[in-house]
Chains A and B, each alone.
Chain A
Amino acid sequence: MAGPKYVLEVENVHRIYESAAGYTHAIRGVTLRVPRGEFLCIMGPSGSGKSTLMNILGGLDRPTAGVYKLEGVSTSELDDDELAELRARRLGFVFQRYNLLPRATVLRNVMMPLIYTNVPVAERELRAYKALRVVGLPEEYYDHRSNELSGGQMQRVAIARALVNDPALILADEPTGALDSATSELVMELFAKLSEQGKTIVVITHDPDTSSWGDRTVHIRDGRLFTEEEERALIEAAMRSGADINARRGHT
């Protein structure tokens, strides 16, 4: 499919939360471009603004300032229902805690995004089967309720669900956060495979092992993005001065 070169373009985006406790400046001027087909990892410590950024990229939230364009469309110009339509057609989400409907079967979970885009019933199953074959879940599980599966299996179902609408962008927030290292490896391998097939993928993580699977990694700290080189320079400078880099990252 043609279209803009960049699947997503983030221009000097800020996100300020307003709460009873006061203002939290969670994203402080982020600029980022992701070309079609790239597998990008965004890495950062807890509280650095990863989820906040991911919500903006996923059209679940809008920037307080700056412009975020998904396939050339600025999300700030869309109303809630138009954003929902955009998510239904162009985005696939993978969450840390899978977020499957426990009482529904694997197949129904995977087909769920399709009911919101009015895909004909006959086509849904075909698409769901296709997605489930891509993630490699054995067919005998398709009729199981999703709460009968292991964590790794559930995450594969969730990835199949993210694939089923053939999205422009797959967004994963800590997809390996709830899995052991062997299973994490399998899941990341799956993302790498999808990337080889041309999918644009953004994975958010705080784990360097996970981020090593990506084509490129950017670092986020205190709501700002750094390239790998900037990050390395920062760490070296910190080591020379004897300062504790973790203190700056806000680690506990």
Chain B
Amino acid sequence: MRPGDLAQETWSALSANKGRSALTILGIVIGIGAVITMTSIIGGISNSMAGMFGANAARVLTINLHGISNFTLDDVAELAKNIPDVEYTMPKAQIQHEATYEKTKVQATIHGEVNKVFEAHGYKLLQGSGFTEEDEKRGSREIILDQYSVRNLFGNTDAAVVGKSLKIGNDEYMIIGVADKVNTFSMTQYDSQSIEGIVPITTAITRLTGNPNITSIEAMTSATSDADAVAAQTKEYLSRRYKLQDSKEEGATRTVSVESNKQLMQQVTSMTSSFQAIMVTVSGISLLVGGIGIMNMMLTNVTERIREIGLRKALGAKRFDITSQFILESICLCLTGGFIGVVLGLLGSFALCGIVGAGLAAAVTGSADPVLPVIDPGAILNAVLTCVITGLIFGWYPARRAAKLDPVESLNHQ
């Protein structure tokens, strides 16, 4: 039997039973639809999370020093020079301070940063500019706020604020830019009494903390290196250079921890993959139910078409011809269900994200950009393959039953 003939026989058999076929594939449609919807949304959520941490998040090391009192910016610079796989370092300082604009008083979280932090964490400037290296060295009194801080101080996030001054402590700081965010997690969106901003690191330690000791540093590793390996290298270097103790040692006071964000990113991945595991289970169950439905229909088909099977055998159909005809029918049923499921699933994910995408984003990542579903070709391919396999498995038994029928008995079947 030629493939073309097989396809034609399958088509005419299935189209003769449209209503029943449609009902039978409902289970498959729902199963595949649910999987595609959920994978698209979960893909969207993990995209949002990756967005929150920045595209380079996996490359960033977080270094925390404990019990050291004289680690300065020069030491930070030296660190970058000594570890070739560290592209640049980002010393950090953080201060809580009261800030006033005209009559409005708010609680300000001020981050002392280097300008590279925008690139490293993917903060986007919405107005104005970041500070220059010159500003960094000079310790200029300039600040970059996040968009919600602008809202909290000036009424709305779009207010033109570049050039305006803000009083922090005894100094006036000029707002030179507005970014979408200035910190990975920020409360300014929810707490209208707070603002958050970035000032040059030198400004922070000379004017706000008055303490040149740096205890928190981030390091950007080169794209080609393994962040974990560089973390170990950095820890080793710092421990040796500053005679630090192992944090596991009892009574250790001078210690350092170097964490790569790889682990953080892995947590995100493991969360999404446990979501995926749940989905696979749910879809597995629904495909099983759907598959049994298909098998049931195929068995009914075989029983109804016993005379036809007998006739085909009398006219020369071999066992393989009969088997492949019924298996192909079953696979086609499953595939049709799968295609409808994929289409409905994609539509469903866009619809769901349209309705709850913003809330989901706020809940999961604290970002205002709604979660957008991700169309994952791999998931679609998987769905299609699963349908083929389901059709094969659940079509097998009915098809074999048809192929084993005795031609004489089937021809005489009433």
A residues with CB within 8 A of B: 55, 58, 60-61, 80-81, 84-85, 87-89, 93, 95, 99, 101, 103-104, 112-113, 115-118, 121, 161, 165
Contacts of A58 in B (CB 8 A): 314
One of B204-212, B269-277, B315-323 contacting the partner: B315-323
Q: Is B355 an interface residue (CB 8 A)?
A: no
Which among B9, B16, B317, B321 has the greatest number of chain A C-beta atoms within 10 A? B317
Known: A80-B319, A85-B318, A112-B315. 16 other contacts (CB 8 A): A55-B408, A58-B314, A60-B314, A80-B318, A81-B318, A81-B320, A88-B316, A99-B307, A99-B311, A101-B311, A103-B16, A112-B312, A116-B312, A116-B318, A121-B4, A161-B315
Closest to B315 in A: A113
> When the two chains form their complex, are residues B318 and A87 in contact, meaning their CB atoms are under 8 A apart?
no
B2 partner residues in chain A, CB cutoff 8 A: 115, 118, 121
Cβ contact within 8 Å between B411 and A87: no
Within 8 Å by CB of B316, from A99, A101, A117, lies A117
- Tell me if A84 and B316 are in contact (CB < 8 A): yes
Given contacts A103-B16, A115-B5, contact A60 B407 (CB under 8 A): yes
Chain A residues within an 8 Å CB radius of B307: 99
CB contact under 8 A between A118 and B315, given known A60-B408, A99-B411: no
**Chain A: CB-nearest residue to B322:** A84
Q: How far is the CB of B355 from chain A (nearest CB, A)?
A: 45
Q: How far is the CA of A142 from the CA of B109 in the complex (A)?
A: 87
Closest CB in chain B relative to A183 CB, distance in Å: 22
Considering the complex, give the chain A residue whose CB is closest to the CB of B2: A118
| A116:B408 contact, CB within 8 angstroms | no
A127 to chain B minimum Cβ distance, whole angstroms, is 14
Q: Which of B312, B315, B320, B408 contacts A61 (CB 8 A)?
A: B408
CB distance from B400 to the nearest CB of A (A): 13
Complex Cα gap A84–B315 (Å)? 8
A88 touches B408 (CB 8 A): no
Question: Shortest CB–CB separation between residue B220 and chain A, in angstroms?
Answer: 66
Residues of B within 8 A of A (CB): 1-2, 4-5, 9, 12, 16, 307-308, 311-321, 407-408, 411
29 A-B pairs (CB sep. < 8 Å): A60-B313, A60-B314, A60-B407, A60-B408, A60-B411, A81-B319, A81-B320, A84-B317, A85-B316, A87-B316, A88-B315, A88-B317, A93-B315, A95-B411, A99-B411, A101-B308, A104-B12, A112-B315, A113-B315, A115-B1, A115-B2, A115-B5, A115-B9, A116-B315, A116-B316, A117-B316, A118-B1, A121-B2, A165-B316
B412 to chain A: closest residue by CB: A51
Check if A84 sits within 8 Å of B4, measured CB to CB: no
In the complex, how many angstroms separate the beta carbon of B328 from the nearest chain A beta carbon? 14
Residues in B whose Cβ lies below 8 Å from that of A89: 316
Query: Given contacts A115-B1, A115-B2, is CB(A84)–CB(B411) below 8 Å?
Result: no
CB proximity of A55 to chain B, nearest CB, Å: 5
Looking at A116, A161, A165, the one whose CB has the most chain B CB atoms below 10 A away is A116
The 3 closest A-B pairs by CB, nearest first: A88-B316, A116-B316, A115-B5
- Tell me the minimal C-beta distance from B318 to chain A in angstroms: 5
Residues of chain A within 8 A of B308, CB atoms compared: 101
Q: Within 8 Å CB of B317, what residues of A?
A: 84, 88, 116
Please give the distance in Å from B56's CB to the nearest CB on chain A. 60
Q: Which of A103, A104, A116, A121 contacts B1 (CB 8 A)?
A: A116
Min Cβ gap B399→A in Å is 16
What residues of A have a CB within 8 angstroms of the CB of B312 in the complex? 112, 116
Q: Which chain A residues border B311 with CB–CB below 8 Å?
A: 99, 101
Closest to A93 in B: B314
Inter-subunit contact A116/B321 (CB<8 Å): yes
CB of A38, distance to nearest CB on chain B (Å):
22
Identify the closest chain A residue to B317 (Cβ).
A116
The distance in angstroms between the C-alpha atoms of A84 and B406, with both chains bound, is: 12
A88–B407 Cα distance when bound, in Å, is 13
Which B residue's beta carbon lies closest to that of A87?
B316
Closest chain-B Cβ to A175's Cβ sits at a distance in Å of: 15
Identity of the chain B residue whose Cβ is nearest the Cβ of A103 in the assembled complex: B16
CB proximity of A190 to chain B, nearest CB, Å: 20
Q: CA–CA, A103 to B6, complex, Å?
A: 16
CB of A166 to closest CB in B, whole Å = 13
In the assembly, what is the distance between CA of A81 and CA of B312, in Å? 13
Residue from the set A58, A61, A84, A87 with the largest chain B CB neighbour count within 10 Å: A84
Contacts of B318 in A (CB 8 A): 80-81, 84-85, 116
Given the complex, which residues of B lie within 8 Å of A99, measured CB to CB?
307, 311, 314, 411
| Bound form: Cα–Cα A101–B16 in Å | 12
- Chain A residue nearest to B316 in the complex (CB): A88
